[in-house]
Amino acid sequence: MRAMRSRKPDARQVKDLLYEQVARIGKASSSPKRLELIELLCQGEKTVDTLAREAAISMKLASAHLRELRSANLVATERRGKNVLYRLAGGEVAGFWVAIRSLAEDRLVELRMALAQITDAPRELTPTDRDALIRRARRGEVVVLDVRPAAEYAAAHLPYAQSMPMEELKARLSELPRDRAIVAYCRGPYCLMARDAVALLRQRGFHAEHLAEGVAEWGMAPVR
């Protein structure tokens, strides 16, 4: 007796399946807090308690959000001793965050209005030309200051940047030159640490500028 051939799915079923799988990424990233967790993980691997504290949510809620992100293979985990560390599943996830955020800023006027509220000078949120900044930093004409936590700097930082976490900045002002421009950056356009650092530096007489981009944005278009 001839073996029965398995019936192949028709084209419509295949297309439905494809879109359904792609939609898993949208579903997993549809929460504002999950997007914030992705941005935080762009800075380097972190424990759930660190993520919960920095995202201002409970550990229980952070764990639930991370499970959703992990189910879509957007984040991965690794156990080290007693700690479970979370990290992005790949550089493409950081690219996804930068791309979806940039699209939202381009299409949503409400987002642009909200973004303008975090600075007194919106022009300062304009990305600096990467190549020009690198040339100036290489020649020692400008100081690139990373004001994120030291662990994030150790994980990844901009070329020629020096680490000076925001909580240490006031006590370490004597380490900074007053005859050169200082460009401060943190986690990206939605991070306020660099804005606050620039405000403090200017109050103390330094020539300071705010670089809106962070390591995730920088990685999308490497300097030549």
Label residue 15 exposed, middle or buried (CB < 10 Å: 0-12, 13-18, 19+). Answer: exposed
| Alpha-carbon gap, residue 153 to 166, rounded angstroms | 12
| Alpha-carbon gap, residue 189 to 55, rounded angstroms | 16
- Tokens 């929460």 found at: 31
Q: Which residues carry out catalysis?
A: 186
| Alpha-carbon gap, residue 201 to 153, rounded angstroms | 20
Q: What are phi and psi of 146, to 5 degrees?
A: -95, 110
Strands 142-146 and 181-185 come out as parallel
Concatenate the DSSP letters of all residues of 104-116 into one string. HHHH-HHHHHHHH
